[in-house]
Structure 1
Amino acid sequence: MSIQVGDRVPDGTLGEFIETATETCAIGPNNFQVADLTKGKTIAVFAVPGAFTPTCSAKHLPGYVELNEQLKAKGVDEIWCVAVNDPFVMGAWGRDQGVNGRVRMLADGSGTWTRQLGLELDLTAKGLGVRSQRYSALIVDGVVKQLNVEQGGQFEISDAQTLLGQLG
């Protein structure tokens, strides 16, 4: 059973590669709790089967980078890209794509949070292990308000333009 609109997202730990040290974050991988990150915020989250993969790199991530300002103008506090990859890979992919802080590149390294959401995708037969389904969601104060889960390798409803249109 996967998460549905109206459900509270489960807490979990996501990793982010921090490029510049601050008082609260060291350079390198830092872990964050989903409950803390979503509290009192509106989050546009999209998940991809893997960093550096063709559709994810050519269309999915770039769409959210390009529409960053429009999403924020509609009340989105943060945009997250989640993948079952490690924080080093997510950080490198973000640098490669020129994200520059417009999208948080969050790693669910072991797929634990993805599994809790019920949105895992078993690609073991293709040598890729268990990954995330491709989806987008709007999370407001920890509750799912919109959810767009792609079917069978499609890229039709989890794009940035669709989520932007759902913001009204």
Structure 2
Amino acid sequence: MSEIKIGDKIPSLILYEEIPEKETDISELVADKKAIIFGVPGAFVPGCSRVHLRGFIEKSDELRRKGYEEIICVSVNDPFVLTAWGWSKGAEDRVRLLADPMAKFTSAIGMGRKMPELGEVCRSRRYSMVTINGIVRELFTEEDNARLMCLGPKFCI
């Protein structure tokens, strides 16, 4: 799939929050809201933990004051791992962690990338986007060969 771009609608795909039975259609979640969606390669990845997720957690109150109703982290992990990561980082009530275990959403928006060093699994590129009523209004993506690029909440502030 080609990479999502400004003006595109968030695709209707199911992600999982906390447990496999708690399904969330991401397009419905952001349909009538101002939201931030950001993606990381995986839970517990050092850069994702130290910089990306932490930045959104620390700025969550300020972002909410600016009108962002949802701050969503998407990762190609199962919901149990993502939930444990969120608990370990204090994300509760600050950042929603949505699991994309089969990389369907990640691939649909063109953010998937193969990682041969991990056995050819699909992971996500780091990205951040602002959506308004389910439409992408701002988009920031890391370069294909980047080791760590901070795409934290500063672009929204």
- Does TM, normalized by the shorter one, top 0.5? yes
- 1:72 Cα shift? 0.8
CA contact (8 A) 1:108 1:114 kept: yes
Is 1:153 equivalent to 2:154 in the alignment? no
CA contact (8 A) 1:50 1:56 kept: yes
Within 5 Å, which residues of 2 pair with 1:65-104?
A: 65-104=57-96
Amino acid at match of 1:4: K
Deviating above 3 A after TM superposition, structure 1's stretches of 4 or more consecutive aligned residues are: 154-157
Q: What is residue 5 of structure 1 aligned with on the other side?
A: 6
CA contact (8 A) 2:17 2:23 kept: yes
Within 5 Å, which residues of 2 pair with 1:44-63?
A: 44-63=36-55
Write the deviation string for residues 92-143 of structure 1: whole angstroms up to 9, x where unpaired.
0000101122000100010001111011011134336101110000011110
CA contact (8 A) 2:30 2:70 kept: no
SS at match of 1:67: helix
Runs of at least 5 residues in structure 1 that lack an aligned partner in the other structure = 19-27
In 2, Cα distance between the equivalents of 1:100 and 1:11?
25
SS at match of 1:50: coil
- 1:157 Cα shift? 5.2
- With normalisation by structure 2, the TM-score equals 0.93
Runs of at least 5 residues in structure 2 that lack an aligned partner in the other structure = none
Write the deviation string for residues 49-71 of structure 1: whole angstroms up to 9, x where unpaired.
01000100111100000000111
CA contact (8 A) 1:124 1:130 kept: no
- With normalisation by structure 1, the TM-score equals 0.87
Is 1:34 equivalent to 2:26 in the alignment? yes
